[in-house]
A and B are shown apart, each in its own frame.
Chain A
Amino acid sequence: MSRPEHQGPPELFYDETEAEKYASSSRMTSIQSKMAERCLELLLLPEHPCLVLDIGCGSGISGGVLAESNHAWVGLDISKAMLDVALDGGAEGDMLLSDVGQGFRFRPGTFDGAVSVSALQWLCNADQKGHEPYKRLIAFFRSLYACLNKGARGALQFYPEASASCEMITSAATRCGFGGGIVIDFPDSTRAKKYYLCVYAGHTSNRPPTLPKALLGNDDEDEPTRILNTTRDRDVRRRRGPRRPVKNRDWIKEKKDRMRLAGKTVKEDTKYTGRRRPSAW
């Protein structure tokens, strides 16, 4: 699978055509909203409506999921085109054009949680001269830690390229004071496997510092994990009775007539025509 991060920096990759795909493709929308729902579940938000930060909000699909659960959100994204799509789609939250690798500043302790769908892997790339992925991750996590309130969590879904990028991300997060780790959903599946970085800025009594359980997908009845091996119905194809000869006496006679009409030299029809030869012995 080609990785979009390799094709160019996000502000150029997500241009009008790419942003349009996000607005029109129902498949992308369904995958993204599923991941956003899972992120929201991992946040363990309190019952009342909360203020959530959406990092890499893009066309506002994850924002839609947040709004459905009655939470207010503020989104950050680097692509102008994607934000325009979000505006056209009537996104309910506020959006800012911002490069999270440069850091962002909100008043400290204001957000109750942070979600991010498929954005973190972009920070692992150096797209410009002077970009250092680790430094940019540090700037990001430092800003995130500052704007979350005590006990707030961040659930950041990402596609790691290698185990090294996982390590880089977790080490940057822990260095900035976050607790937590990576939750891998559906670890046995190649396609459904998803990585969520679940981090918490301190902890409170109703949100203990334990990682949520990963989904394993064993008892998931919506999607069958394997194709049922149906036995082939051989009986239908079984012959009834002995095989009928194709080239019988009538067929031979007809062919000889056809050949005569075509002007070929054909032997006369006799009582021996189309008869089996006697066996040699």
Chain B
Amino acid sequence: MRLLTHNLLMCNRKQCTGGFPLRIVLDTDIDKDAQSVEESEFRPEFIQHLLPKLDWEALYKTAQELNLSPGVPPSYSEEDKKDENFLRAVHDVVMDVHILEGKLVCPNCNREYPVSKGIPNMLLTNDEV
């Protein structure tokens, strides 16, 4: 799961409102990689259209938690939107960082969603629907 999807995803429980952003808890005990960086094609135009959709505060916080260097700045201005370096930095964080093993925890209700092989399990039990 990319950080892009993480930036869109909210807690799925019906009883829970505003469960965003989900806290990423990486699984460090196993010998597989819990997090990976996969280079992908950089398309500045796509990132430009993506910017208004991102919750910047959440993205900045997540990047800090995952110790991503150089990461993204705490805020950006209108001029930054045309800056290739800035767009590249956003691309690297949002499109290239993958969460592979671990869990997502709702900050509101503490519901845990396991992530395995990069696929979060968002299935609910019958009483949560």
Contacts and interface: CB of A to CB of B under 8 A. Distances in A.
A83 to B, nearest CB: 6
Given A74-B5, A99-B124, A103-B12, A110 B119 contact: no
A105 B12 contact: yes
Contacts of A23: none
- Of the candidates A50, A83, A84, A95, the one having the most CB atoms from chain B within 10 angstroms of its own CB is A95
Nearest to B121: A97
Contacts of B87: none
Contact of A107 (B2, B20, B129): B20
Q: Which range holds the interface residue count of chain A?
A: 20 to 34
B55 A107 contact: yes
Contacts of A98: 12, 122-123
Q: Report which residue of B4, B40, B45, B122 has the largest number of chain A beta carbons within 10 angstroms of its beta carbon.
A: B122
B5 A96 contact: yes
Interface in B49-102: 49-50, 53, 55
A139 interface: yes
A97 B118 CA distance: 10
Contacts of A44: none
Question: Which of A83, A94, A97 gathers most chain B CB within 10 Å?
Answer: A94
A70 B129 contact: no
A49 interface: yes
Interface in A48-93: 48-51, 70, 72, 74, 78, 80, 83-84, 87, 92
A97 B120 contact: yes
A248 interface: no
B14 interface: yes
A272 to B, nearest CB: 97
A99 B49 contact: no
A50 B47 CA distance: 10
A106 interface: yes
B9 A97 contact: no
B34 interface: no
A130 B55 CA distance: 36
A106 B19 CA distance: 10
B8 A49 contact: no
B121 A74 contact: no
A102 interface: yes
A104 interface: yes
Given A97-B121, A98-B122, A110-B8, A103 B45 contact: no
Contacts of A128: 126
Contact of A87 (B12, B118, B120): B118
Contacts of B9: 96, 105-107
Nearest to A105: B10
Interface string B9-22: 11110100001100
Nearest to A92: B40
Contact of B8 (A48, A74, A83): A74
A105 B109 CA distance: 15
A101 to B, nearest CB: 9
Contact of B124 (A80, A84, A102): A102
Contacts of B129: 102-103, 139
5 contacts: A48-B45, A49-B49, A94-B5, A106-B9, A107-B7
Given A74-B5, A130-B126, 14 more contacts: A50-B49, A87-B117, A87-B118, A94-B2, A94-B4, A96-B1, A97-B123, A98-B123, A102-B12, A102-B128, A102-B129, A103-B129, A105-B9, A107-B9
Cβ-closest 5 pairs across A and B: A49-B46, A94-B5, A105-B10, A98-B122, A106-B8
